[in-house]
Structure 1
Amino acid sequence: MNETSPKPSDARWRPLAILLPVAVACAILIRLCPEGGWTIAGHTIRIEMPAAWAHWTSTKTEPDIVLRWKPEDVENLLERYEKQLSAIEALDTVPGSDVSTASSAESEDTLALDSVTTPDSPRTEAITALDKSSQPVTTPRVDSLVPSSGKDWIPGSLRIRIPEGEKAAFHRLFAKLENGEPVQVLHYGDSQIEGDRISGTLRKRWQERWGGYGPGIQPPVPLVQSFALTQMLSGNWTRHTRFGRRDTTDLDENYGILASYATADTSDGPPCIELGRERRSSPSFGRWNHLELWHDTVHSPCIIRVEDVPTDTLVPGSPPGILNLAGSGMEPGGAPASVCFDGVPPKLFALYPVGAGIQWHSVAMRGSSGTLFRKLSRGPFRSQIRALAPDLIVLQYGGNTVPYTRDSTSAARYGGWFKRQVELFQVLLPDAAILVIGPSDMAEKTGTNWTSFPMLGAVKTALLDASLDAGVAHWDLLGAMGGLGSMPAWVASEPPLAGPDHIHFTPRGARKVGEWLDRAFWAEFRRWKTGGATKVITALKPKPSSVIPLQIKVDDEE
Structure 2
Amino acid sequence: MAWPAREKIEPRVWKRGPLRWGLLVLLPLACGALTCGGPPRVPQAQDEAEAGEGDSSTVAAALPPVEADEGPEDEVLPAYNPEALSARLEAQRVFLGEDSLFEDAEGNPMAPKLEVIEAGGAEVGSVEDDILLSLPGSSGMGAGGGLVGESEAVNGNALGLYVPIENPASGPALAHFHDALRKLRSGEDDDGKVHIAVYGGSHTQADVYPGYMRTYFQRRFGDGGPGFYSLVKVNRWYRYADWSIDETKGWKSEHAQRSSARKDGLYGLLGASGASDSKRDRTKLIPRNDSTVASLYELHFLRQPGGGQLGLYVDGKRVATVDTESKTGDYQAGFYEFTTPEEAGHEIEVRVKGDGEVRVFGVAMERTSPGVVVDTLGISGTRAANMLRWNEVVWAEQFAHRKPDLYTLFYGTNEATDENQPISAYRDDLREVLARLRRAAPEASCLLIGPGDFPREVEEDVWVPRPRLAQIIEVQRDLAYEMGCGFWDTLAFMGGVGSMHTWATSNPRMASRDHIHFSKRGYVRLGMAVTDAIMADFDRE
Report the TM-score when normalising by structure 1.
0.67
The answer to whether 1:415 aligns with 2:427 is: yes
Counterpart residue number, 2:336: 323
Residues 266, 443 of structure 1: alpha-carbon distance in 2 compared, 3 angstrom cutoff: same
Give the Cα separation in 2 of the matches to 1:418 and 1:385. 18
Q: Percent identity?
A: 22
* Residue among 163, 171, 191 paired with 1:158: 163
Residues 257, 336 of structure 1: alpha-carbon distance in 2 compared, 3 angstrom cutoff: closer
Task: Tell me the matched-pair count.
Answer: 410
Shift of 1:272: 2.9
Counterpart residue number, 2:302: 296
* Residue among 209, 225, 229 paired with 1:198: 209
Letter of the aligned partner of 1:515 in structure 2? M
Q: Is the 8 A contact 2:26 2:163 kept in 1?
A: no
Residues 348, 472 of structure 1: alpha-carbon distance in 2 compared, 3 angstrom cutoff: same
488-497 vs 344-353, which deviates more? 344-353
- Per-residue displacement from partner, 1:143-188 (whole Å, max 9, x unpaired)? 9xx9544333428851001224252x62232122123241011111
Give the Cα separation in 1 of the matches to 2:406 and 2:222. 17
Q: Is the 8 A contact 2:231 2:283 kept in 1?
A: no
- Per-residue displacement from partner, 1:432-467 (whole Å, max 9, x unpaired)? 100001101012212231222232212211211221
Residues 154, 218 of structure 1: alpha-carbon distance in 2 compared, 3 angstrom cutoff: same
Q: Is the 8 A contact 2:196 2:406 kept in 1?
A: yes
Letter of the aligned partner of 2:59 in structure 1? S
Give the Cα separation in 1 of the matches to 2:342 and 2:449. 34
Give the Cα separation in 2 of the matches to 1:354 and 1:492. 40
The answer to whether 1:388 aligns with 2:399 is: no
Give the Cα separation in 2 of the matches to 1:153 and 1:450. 32
Q: Is the 8 A contact 1:294 1:349 kept in 2?
A: yes
Residues 318, 354 of structure 1: alpha-carbon distance in 2 compared, 3 angstrom cutoff: farther
The answer to whether 1:172 aligns with 2:196 is: no
Letter of the aligned partner of 1:134 in structure 2? V
Q: Is the 8 A contact 1:215 1:229 kept in 2?
A: no
Uncovered stretches (5+) of structure 1, i.e. residues with no partner: 1-82, 88-101, 116-120, 531-558
The answer to whether 1:469 aligns with 2:482 is: yes
* Residue among 428, 446, 455 paired with 1:443: 455
Shift of 1:330: 5.0
Q: Is the 8 A contact 2:201 2:383 kept in 1?
A: yes
The answer to whether 1:378 aligns with 2:392 is: yes
* Residue among 59, 71, 93 paired with 1:134: 59
Give the Cα separation in 1 of the matches to 2:502 and 2:274. 40
1:505 is paired with a residue whose SS is coil
2:477 is paired with a residue whose SS is helix
Equivalent residue runs for 1:279-290 within 5 Å = 279=289, 283-284=290-291, 286-290=292-296
Give the Cα separation in 1 of the matches to 2:500 and 2:373. 31
* Residue among 385, 410, 414 paired with 1:400: 414
Letter of the aligned partner of 2:7 in structure 1? E
Shift of 1:113: 6.5
Q: Is the 8 A contact 2:423 2:471 kept in 1?
A: yes
- Per-residue displacement from partner, 1:449-507 (whole Å, max 9, x unpaired)? 12222322122112112212222110000111001000011001112111010001111
Shift of 1:335: 5.9
Instruction: Give the structure, 1 or 2, with the largest relative contact order (CA under 8 Å, sep 6 or more).
Output: 2
Give the Cα separation in 2 of the matches to 1:329 and 1:247. 41
Letter of the aligned partner of 2:217 in structure 1? W
1:441 is paired with a residue whose SS is coil
Give the Cα separation in 1 of the matches to 2:470 and 2:506. 23
Letter of the aligned partner of 1:245 in structure 2? R
- Per-residue displacement from partner, 1:324-345 (whole Å, max 9, x unpaired)? 23438652xx564444344456
297-306 vs 209-218, which deviates more? 297-306
* Residue among 482, 496, 500 paired with 1:487: 500
Residues 196, 138 of structure 1: alpha-carbon distance in 2 compared, 3 angstrom cutoff: same
Counterpart residue number, 2:363: 351
Give the Cα separation in 2 of the matches to 1:350 and 1:442. 32
Residues 335, 526 of structure 1: alpha-carbon distance in 2 compared, 3 angstrom cutoff: closer
- Per-residue displacement from partner, 1:514-538 (whole Å, max 9, x unpaired)? 00011112212123xx2xxxxxxxx
464-473 vs 200-209, which deviates more? 464-473
153-162 vs 214-223, which deviates more? 153-162
Letter of the aligned partner of 2:435 in structure 1? E
Give the Cα separation in 1 of the matches to 2:39 and 2:516. 25
- Per-residue displacement from partner, 1:77-118 (whole Å, max 9, x unpaired)? xxxxxx7x433xxxxxxxxxxxxxx5xx33465795759xxx
Give the Cα separation in 1 of the matches to 2:510 and 2:341. 38
Counterpart residue number, 1:307: 315
Counterpart residue number, 2:14: none
Give the Cα separation in 2 of the matches to 1:507 and 1:489. 16
Give the Cα separation in 2 of the matches to 1:216 and 1:293. 12
Counterpart residue number, 2:113: none
Q: Is the 8 A contact 2:296 2:337 kept in 1?
A: yes
- Per-residue displacement from partner, 1:382-416 (whole Å, max 9, x unpaired)? 2111111101110110000102225xx82343123
Letter of the aligned partner of 1:297 in structure 2? R
Give the Cα separation in 2 of the matches to 1:525 and 1:460. 26
Shift of 1:270: 4.3
Counterpart residue number, 1:517: 530
Residues 112, 471 of structure 1: alpha-carbon distance in 2 compared, 3 angstrom cutoff: closer
Which has a greater percent of helix? 1
Residues 386, 487 of structure 1: alpha-carbon distance in 2 compared, 3 angstrom cutoff: same
Give the Cα separation in 1 of the matches to 2:71 and 2:465. 26
Give the Cα separation in 1 of the matches to 2:357 and 2:342. 21
Shift of 1:212: 1.2
Residues 337, 303 of structure 1: alpha-carbon distance in 2 compared, 3 angstrom cutoff: closer
2:536 is paired with a residue whose SS is helix
Counterpart residue number, 1:73: none
Q: Is the 8 A contact 2:311 2:353 kept in 1?
A: yes
2:251 is paired with a residue whose SS is strand
Counterpart residue number, 1:430: 442
Counterpart residue number, 2:351: 340
2:385 is paired with a residue whose SS is coil
1:296 is paired with a residue whose SS is strand
Q: Is the 8 A contact 1:235 1:264 kept in 2?
A: no
